[in-house]
Chain A
């Protein structure tokens, strides 16, 4: 190559490189000036724009009589930047009296080189106002909302709790979290070099919207009553734990729901997190003989049996290759349907189920809401476990065992709602704990919702009569003088790997009163009682103790007085 050509080649190369660099620069300029223009403008504005998020006030939770069950309190946290504290000694002098902290400790903290340190938590408003008034450079006072439950442990499972970040968990707090928390406000404006918003600058204020307040269907007097009684029952019968559900069968409104042991939502972090789940809606159990109410309702409604139907109880029966025995391993001869309930005969009720047939039996079981959520307005509800003939793990013998509540797992709320359907003339109601939502000036009243008709009106009334007669025939400890009570005990064996526990049981009783016009339903569950394994000896008397106080609280006069009044 000639020298001139070489130079020309080099010039072209340099020009090409410079053109490429120019293109790159131009591209970058286009990117900054056009494509990412808004991003850089926003970045520049952010330099002198201040944005303050104003947290909303979380809504209150009250009982049906407007007693406060949960509310927010504003507390203040104090922090310090020791590096910019000009006079640690005089600051310590002033703070020690106000915070009730030793002066020496404060001097040690304030005289350090740390950039930032927390100094005190949970200060009152008066203290915080004093600190703001002093205006000491280097001290920061920050407000913080804390959820308080003034009744302590009362209704802890039902209410749930709110963590330090303001998020609601479990119960009402969890279910209605988005409604309770409200909407944060925002204040934006141009910032002065000292970090304050310039009054004459462009500013914008969106006020926070407080969360909705909830009025529950719970009556705190009933809640207190059942909590006291279930605690005494669990301790008295040497049980591990217990649960009670009280509801209005006509509306599905929960009047009280209690568990023992419980926890204090004010100090939830000190409790075992296994306690946070509400056993009444989250945990499933085998219901045992209480489930005979459902099987009998199905049998009566389908016309498979009537109250007068006589069956022969030989003490055992084979269903699908599995032998079913009565609880007492005895045969009771010819018995009618009321006796089947009164004596809680597994053989008798299994005959009702086989007379119904598997398809009709499980159709009715589903109609009563088993195997699916009740859709109660509480967090962490479980659906229970229901095997049906369509499933591979269902066996013919399940029809027999399911008829008396074995091999089927339900939640207490499912059982309560299903039995309430019998009390409510066959209509299955959706259970609910919120009666009214109050959001500002708006008020929404929750209306009772009928889920479906489980059985006919006649079936429900006939069965109620049979349940009353059965309790009276058995001289049940659930009976309350002056009132006709309908109900059924249950003593369920506890499933363990490979079968059932040889001695431990889960005792329960579901009943309602007054039988002719049911106003209240109570379900009592006592888990692993040791003084007696039978529901009739543990859950039934607990039901009576609760019922005799409930009639006073709910102002339900004895049948004689009430019926005389209505005549």
Chain B
């Protein structure tokens, strides 16, 4: 007759109990880890939402500040302080063959001409090089005793 030892039975039951306990502990730990991660992420999302709102508010405030600085009464006041005067006498000079917006060339780029045909204003006289103009300016400045300024 074979008899199972009592201590062996206890050991198996204890192992089973420990296994169940361990499983519960693991599940609990996983749940808590997950929950704390979700909580932390949730707070972080809230913080980011708040930060986005604050940045949007700052952006809006800056846009308004720019608009206030660009307000016409302020610009006019500043321009007058700098010695500018309102334009009262505008004259249009009809330029024969000035390039129009439909033509290729300078006029087409600026789009602000009213002439008919494109014309090269410097066609009769080739444009001087920049280094030559600069040298002439420097020379004129030297003659007048002014300091030579860089370009």
User: Could you say which residues of chain B place their CB within 8 Å of the CB of A567?
Assistant: 116
- A151 at interface, CB cutoff 8 A: yes
- B38 at interface, CB cutoff 8 A: yes
Contact B43 A199, beta carbon cutoff 8 Å: yes
Bound-state CA distance A221–B100 (Å) is: 26
Bound-state CA distance A112–B125 (Å) is: 88
Q: Which of A68, A199, A224 neighbours the largest number of chain B CB atoms within 10 Å of its CB?
A: A199
Contact B64 A564, beta carbon cutoff 8 Å: no
- A152 at interface, CB cutoff 8 A: yes
- Binding site of B, secondary structure by majority: helix, strand, loop or mixed? helix
User: Could you say which residues of chain A place their CB within 8 Å of the CB of B100?
Assistant: 565
Interface residues in B, total, Cβ within 8 A: 29
User: Could you say which residues of chain B place their CB within 8 Å of the CB of A221?
Assistant: 72
Distance from A58 Cβ to chain B, minimum over Cβ atoms (Å): 10
- Binding site of A, secondary structure by majority: helix, strand, loop or mixed? mixed
Contact A74 B72, beta carbon cutoff 8 Å: no
- Which of B2-10, B86-94, B128-136 faces chain A? B86-94
Distance from B11 Cβ to chain A, minimum over Cβ atoms (Å): 40
Contact A151 B71, beta carbon cutoff 8 Å: yes
| Tier of interface size on chain A | 20 to 34
User: Could you say which residues of chain A place their CB within 8 Å of the CB of B61?
Assistant: 73-74, 125
Bound-state CA distance A57–B39 (Å) is: 29
- A558 at interface, CB cutoff 8 A: yes
Distance from B107 Cβ to chain A, minimum over Cβ atoms (Å): 11
Chain B, residues 46-78, CB within 8 Å of chain A (1/0): the string is 000000001011101101101110111100000
- B15 at interface, CB cutoff 8 A: no
In the complex, which of the residues A74, A150, A482 contacts B57, with contact meaning CB atoms closer than 8 Å?
A: A74
Bound-state CA distance A74–B58 (Å) is: 9
- A562 at interface, CB cutoff 8 A: yes
Bound-state CA distance A137–B118 (Å) is: 76
User: Could you say which residues of chain A place their CB within 8 Å of the CB of B56?
Assistant: 57
From known contacts A148-B64, A555-B112, A561-B114, infer whether A125 and B57 are also in contact, taking CB-CB under 8 Å: yes
Distance from B58 Cβ to chain A, minimum over Cβ atoms (Å): 6
Bound-state CA distance A490–B100 (Å) is: 41
Contact A125 B54, beta carbon cutoff 8 Å: yes
- A220 at interface, CB cutoff 8 A: yes
User: Could you say which residues of chain B place their CB within 8 Å of the CB of A200?
Assistant: 35, 38-39, 42
B66 — nearest CB in chain A belongs to which residue? A68
Q: Which of B60, B70, B115 neighbours the largest number of chain A CB atoms within 10 Å of its CB?
A: B60
User: Could you say which residues of chain B place their CB within 8 Å of the CB of A565?
Assistant: 100, 114-116
In the complex, which of the residues A67, A71, A73, A557 contacts B92, with contact meaning CB atoms closer than 8 Å?
A: A557
A-B contact pairs, 28 of them (CB 8 A): A57-B56, A57-B60, A67-B67, A67-B70, A71-B63, A71-B64, A73-B57, A74-B61, A125-B57, A125-B61, A129-B54, A150-B64, A150-B67, A150-B70, A150-B71, A152-B71, A154-B71, A154-B72, A199-B39, A199-B42, A200-B35, A224-B73, A482-B92, A557-B92, A557-B114, A560-B94, A561-B94, A565-B115
Binding site for B on A (CB under 8 A): 57, 67-68, 71-74, 125, 129, 148, 150-152, 154, 199-200, 220-221, 224, 482, 551-552, 555, 557-558, 560-562, 564-565, 567
